[in-house]
Chains A and B, each alone.
Chain A
């Protein structure tokens, strides 16, 4: 492992990569702070830049920096103007915004930054321990297990979609898989479902899809409902960034607990930062006693530290399935996976053997990224916060323009732009109807791999016997099915119980 760490240090500490971490964190913070733009949109916009860098480690370092920066920027806007730019920082605003209202904005930002730093760093240490173990298990996987693993991943993402949305999430996954079949067929690469258009022969471009699904609807939302991103208009000076020793002692156990809990939640595919931050908040509120519990929601430092630690630890945790199994656990890691594939790196158990420098430099750059956020961004926050005052009339045209340039330079092809607009409009309508979009993108990215692995196992065993003859495959498939059916069953039972009680009254 030491060898790996040294290799990572060597790559990550090169001047260019250090610069990329800093740039990524800054860009991420800047854009992440704008309400309504989440990490997925920002990463989608940055992908063309990352891909043209040509070096997979550099690209991943940049994108991971952007990811952290975006989460941090999101907490900043939650605290300052109660407008979380990211779902994962909604819980931050519960206690962060009251603190800012009490004139303790500086303190709240420091607590947020320190907790994020600790969460991220502890997460990175756990990742260093976890990933190699999981990788060595994953090396035993054949294509049949891979296929089953992807089924598990897809159903986990659908299962965590939230109450009442599981069927919709499954539907979106299937649509993603269907989109993935456009282009060339599995095994023999003959054109398939291209409707005679040569522009479609290489399939839908993943960048275009990512932009259309996330960046464009967000921008259109800002247009449709301007109140959504409105601030109170008052920008008080942010001062007094220091926290006292007593406060540090009070949040230390919270931070320690939430680092581990957040990481473990992040590792589960589909759960991610949002769930981790809400759960972290809830758990800490239950643990806190008496007066402290009363304070939650009114500006408690513990209530701020908990979700902040948990969401950063979960972000790091979500890299575990990505780097070891090649299966993205969240929309953001799905975008990262797409970028890696575009750079000819196949994440998965062989990543540590084939491209150790990619693996280790990403982990090392996570430390650096967290440190950059703490050292560089925190003092800059009062200045960065001015960005919140940029008029929307200038901002929105530029956001739209960036999504289009991103899609265009990826393919150099105007058809791509029309596809982007068309898919973007569809995605906006889907969001209106409350269909979750990340499953679509994850299905799209995993679709090709899933079909190839399935085809390979079918050809090897001359049928689908592999599904029940290989114990590991069978277990994974059953697990995948359970993930979908158990929550549905429990919900139905709970509903039935509720009805029974109501009738009994």
Chain B
């Protein structure tokens, strides 16, 4: 089965769960007698969503379009040729960055992230990469802190 059908199934499940949650939405006492309730639209939406998901699911799969997109839409048939490992590595790094940003501080976390991402991409000139990353991190920190006036903790927890 094609990927888009699996996604349609996922949407169908989401819509059913969402519809169930909307149906059981705890109404406030004074809301009960109103015409329009906070869960009116969610219920309509879940029904609509389930309907469209079923439509996609039941529609015949379109033949692979030869026209393609000139932007080179990714062709799932060739996924083995794609660098999935690299992409997963970068995603893992992004999650690590999200978790480390507060405790480790902006500058260290960002530098590590940039160097790590470059390493994952196959960059091996570490000295240049660290230099570029450090300068980039410092510049962005300065811009955000001074020009935009948003506080970002620059240093690790034990230093500030």
* Residues of chain A having any CB pair with chain B under 8 Å: 48-49, 52, 84, 87, 90, 93, 164, 167-168, 170-171, 174-175, 177-178, 181, 185-188, 190, 192-193, 220-221, 223-226, 228, 391-394, 396-398, 400-401, 404-405, 408-409, 412, 414, 417-418, 420-421, 425, 429-435, 451, 454-455, 458-459, 462-463
Contact = CB atoms under 8 A, between A and B. Distances in A.
Contacts of A188: 28, 31, 38
27 contacts: A87-B69, A171-B49, A177-B41, A178-B14, A178-B42, A178-B45, A186-B36, A192-B25, A193-B18, A220-B91, A224-B74, A224-B82, A224-B86, A393-B118, A394-B123, A394-B132, A397-B118, A400-B90, A401-B117, A404-B97, A414-B98, A414-B99, A418-B99, A421-B91, A429-B7, A431-B74, A455-B36
A174 B36 contact: no
Interface string B132-160: 11001000100010001111100000000
A225 B74 contact: yes
A262 B6 CA distance: 38
B56 A171 contact: yes
Contact of A223 (B83, B97, B129, B151): B83
B123 to A, nearest CB: 4
Interface of B: 2-4, 6-8, 11, 14-15, 18, 21-22, 25, 28, 31, 34-36, 38-42, 45-46, 48-49, 52-53, 55-56, 59, 62, 69-74, 76, 81-84, 86-87, 90-91, 94-95, 97-99, 101-102, 110, 113-114, 117-118, 121-123, 129, 132-133, 136, 140, 144, 148-152
B74 A181 contact: no
B121 A433 contact: no
A87 B71 CA distance: 7
Contacts of A412: 150-151
A400 B148 contact: no
A187 B4 CA distance: 36
B121 A397 contact: yes
Contacts of A418: 95, 98-99
Contact of B62 (A164, A186, A394, A459): A164
A451 B31 CA distance: 16
A204 to B, nearest CB: 14
A178 B16 CA distance: 12
A425 B88 CA distance: 10
A52 B148 contact: yes
B91 A221 contact: no
A454 B83 contact: no
* Most chain A CB neighbours (cut-off 10 Å) among B59, B74, B76, B133: B74
Contacts, number: 179
Contact of B70 (A84, A181, A190, A394): A84
Nearest to A463: B35
Nearest to A396: B121
A190 B110 contact: no
A489 B72 CA distance: 30
A221 B75 CA distance: 11
Q: Is the interface of A mostly helix, strand, loop or mixed?
A: helix
B94 A417 contact: yes
Contacts of B102: 414
Nearest to B93: A400
A418 B96 CA distance: 9
9 closest A-B pairs by CB:
A185-B38, A417-B98, A397-B117, A433-B4, A393-B123, A224-B82, A171-B52, A458-B36, A174-B49
Contacts of B69: 87
Given A220-B90, A394-B118, 10 more contacts: A52-B150, A178-B42, A190-B28, A226-B83, A396-B121, A401-B114, A401-B136, A417-B94, A435-B4, A458-B36
Contacts of A224: 74, 82-84, 86-87
Contact of B71 (A84, A168, A186): A84
Contacts of A429: 3, 7
B11 A392 contact: no
A409 B83 contact: no
Contact of B46 (A178, A223, A433): A178
Contacts of A164: 62
A186 B87 contact: no
Nearest to A217: B74
Contacts of B94: 400, 404, 417, 421
A311 B114 CA distance: 36
B122 A434 contact: no
* Most chain A CB neighbours (cut-off 10 Å) among B101, B102, B121: B121
A193 B11 contact: no
Contacts of A193: 18, 21-22, 42
B142 to A, nearest CB: 13
A223 B86 contact: yes
A254 B102 CA distance: 56
A396 B120 CA distance: 11
B49 A187 contact: no
Contacts of A186: 36, 38, 41
Contacts of A192: 25, 38-39, 42
A174 B48 contact: yes
